[in-house]
């Protein structure tokens, strides 16, 4: 029932498994480390956990995701070829200088994430 407000994922716009790597941290280039992550888009936050089961334990507990970025003031674009040899890669640049690549072997999945991320970024553009 999608209208149920009690569901722990009720404020989650989107979730799924993606390949993720940081490429910069605090504005400085870092070595890529592609990892499969359960990714959750919730409000203006993009949250990452190793697995879906680990993500479920955030809700209603004091646990925190493994890693998260705030999408306020961020940008998302389809990554240019020089950023990665992989297909279907998005580049997310955050205001705090953490830049990520997210990738899926499925073009449809990446297109859906591109849409969802763009929407969230536009929604929070004036905050």
- The residues binding ligand I3S (CB under 6 A) are 31-32, 34, 84-86
- Residue 20 or 117: the one with the smaller Cβ distance to ligand I3S is 20
CB of 27 to ligand I3S, least distance (A): 18
- Residue 114's alpha-carbon distances to 4, 12, 33, 39, 108, in angstroms, are 26, 16, 21, 13, 10
Cβ proximity to ligand I3S: between 21 and 42 the closer is 21
Compute the least distance from the CB of residue 55 to ligand I3S, in Å.
Answer: 24
Give me the least distance between CB of 121 and ligand I3S, in Å please.
Answer: 23
Spatial CB neighbours of 101, under 8 Å, sequence gap ≥ 6: 20, 21, 23, 32, 79, 83, 84, 89, 90, 91, 92
Q: Which is nearer to ligand I3S, 84 or 98 (CB)?
A: 84
């Amino acid at each position: 029932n999608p209208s149920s407000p009690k569901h722990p994922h009720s404020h989650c716009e989107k979730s799924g498994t993606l390949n993720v790597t940081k490429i910069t941290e605090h504005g400085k280039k870092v070595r890529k480390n592609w990892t499969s992550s359960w990714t959750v888009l919730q409000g203006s936050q993009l949250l990452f956990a190793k697995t879906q089961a680990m993500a479920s334990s955030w809700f209603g507990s004091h646990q925190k995701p493994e890693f998260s970025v705030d999408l306020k003031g961020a940008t998302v674009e389809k990554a240019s070829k020089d950023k990665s040899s992989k297909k279907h890669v998005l580049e997310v640049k955050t205001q705090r200088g953490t830049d990520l690549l997210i990738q899926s072997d499925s073009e449809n999945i990446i297109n859906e994430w591109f849409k969802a991320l763009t929407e969230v970024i536009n929604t929070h553009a004036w905050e």
